[in-house]
């Protein structure tokens, strides 16, 4: 198959380029094609003529989106629409990366793919509106929702915790938000399988299991052999510009229906720490 990845120089994009084997893969950065520009997107798709397009390009600074709403929608919604229109013209299949932030976090059981979207942040709204538009343009596209993404080569929660833990005797971390940490390597491998199996519709793709940010941080510190004390605090004690879902665990049923299993978040974290150590 011929694969075109938009956002290949980003956090997930680099993992996709590294993990994708046995197919003809072309990675495009924003320098190659700015997804906000419909003509650039169309030209890129006409030039590469892919069987599958993976749209990993996005504006993912959740707090930054609150203060830069126009840019958030231009990239995450309108840019996605440009890619979908180009895919439709070329007859390419499309996989779009979406987020747990399309939900409001009021459930206490894992979110299913058909649960109502009710985003509480600009970032979440931009992704939710993109999902709706893409399903109108390409009803058979694949929307892969993920959560709490981290990996080597970019700013992420584990990296921040490790840097802080190296210089502080204690850390306060929010304990009333719950989700599923997801390692870019595992997400990339699942995306490869989804495309190779011709997946369509909405699929929830996260590492298995769930935890709070506090529990995640505690495990990061423990697995790294650090002695830093990690203390639980409430969201109210750490106000942020963008509202976070209190509970955004995504049900794995849709992924299991595609006969794909994801490793546990604990196993993924150990492999991330090994990879991080080898990179330094």
Angle at alpha carbon of residue 120, lines to 105 and 114, rounded to 5°: 55
In which element (H, E) is residue 214 found? Answer: helix 213-223
- Clarify whether 150 is annotated catalytic: no
Burial of 270 (0-12, 13-18, 19+ CB in 10 A): middle
**C-beta atoms surrounding 237 within 10 Å:** 9
Q: How far is CA 28 from CA 39, 80, 82, 222, in A?
A: 15, 15, 15, 38
Q: Which residues contact 100 (CB under 8 A, 6 or more apart)?
A: 111, 145, 146, 147, 148, 179, 206, 245, 248, 249, 250
How far is residue 60's CA from residue 12's CA, in Å, rounded to a whole number? Answer: 11
Tokens 């709706």 sit on residue: 132
Q: What SS3 string covers 10-72?
A: CHHHHHHHHHCCCCEEEEECCCCCCCCCHHHHHHHHHHHCCCEEEECCCCCCHHHHHHCHHHH
Cβ atoms < 10 Å from Cβ of 118: 14
Of 123, 150, 183, 272, which is the active-site residue? 123
The CA–CA distances, whole Å, from 129 to 6, 81, 135, 136 equal 19, 10, 10, 11
**Would you name the residues annotated as active-site residues?**
123
């Amino acid at each position: 198959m011929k694969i075109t990845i938009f956002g290949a120089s980003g956090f997930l994009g680099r993992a996709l380029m590294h993990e994708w084997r046995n197919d003809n893969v072309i990675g495009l950065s924003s320098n190659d094609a700015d997804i906000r520009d419909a003509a650039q997107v169309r030209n890129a798709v006409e030039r590469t003529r892919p069987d599958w397009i993976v749209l990993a390009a996005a504006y993912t600074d959740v707090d930054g989106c609150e203060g830069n709403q126009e840019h958030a929608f231009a990239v995450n919604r309108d840019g996605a629409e440009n890619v979908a229109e180009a895919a439709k013209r070329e007859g390419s299949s499309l996989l779009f990366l979406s987020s747990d932030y399309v939900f409001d976090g009021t459930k206490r059981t894992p979110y299913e793919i058909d649960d109502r979207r009710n985003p509480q942040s600009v970032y979440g709204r931009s992704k939710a509106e993109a999902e709706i538009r893409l399903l109108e343009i390409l009803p058979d596209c694949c929307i892969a929702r993920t959560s709490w993404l981290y990996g080597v080569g970019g700013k992420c929660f584990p990296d921040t915790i490790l840097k802080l833990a190296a210089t502080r005797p204690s850390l306060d971390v929010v304990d009333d938000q719950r989700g599923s940490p997801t390692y870019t390597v595992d997400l990339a491998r699942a995306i490869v399988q989804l495309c190779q199996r011709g997946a369509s519709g909405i699929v929830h793709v996260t590492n298995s299991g769930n935890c709070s940010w506090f529990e995640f941080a505690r495990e990061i510190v423990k697995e790294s052999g650090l002695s830093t004390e990690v203390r639980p605090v409430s969201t109210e004690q750490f106000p942020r510009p963008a509202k976070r879902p209190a509970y955004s665990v995504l049900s794995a049923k849709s992924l299991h229906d595609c006969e794909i299993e994801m490793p546990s978040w604990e196993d993924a974290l150990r492999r991330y720490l090994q990879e991080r150590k080898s990179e330094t």
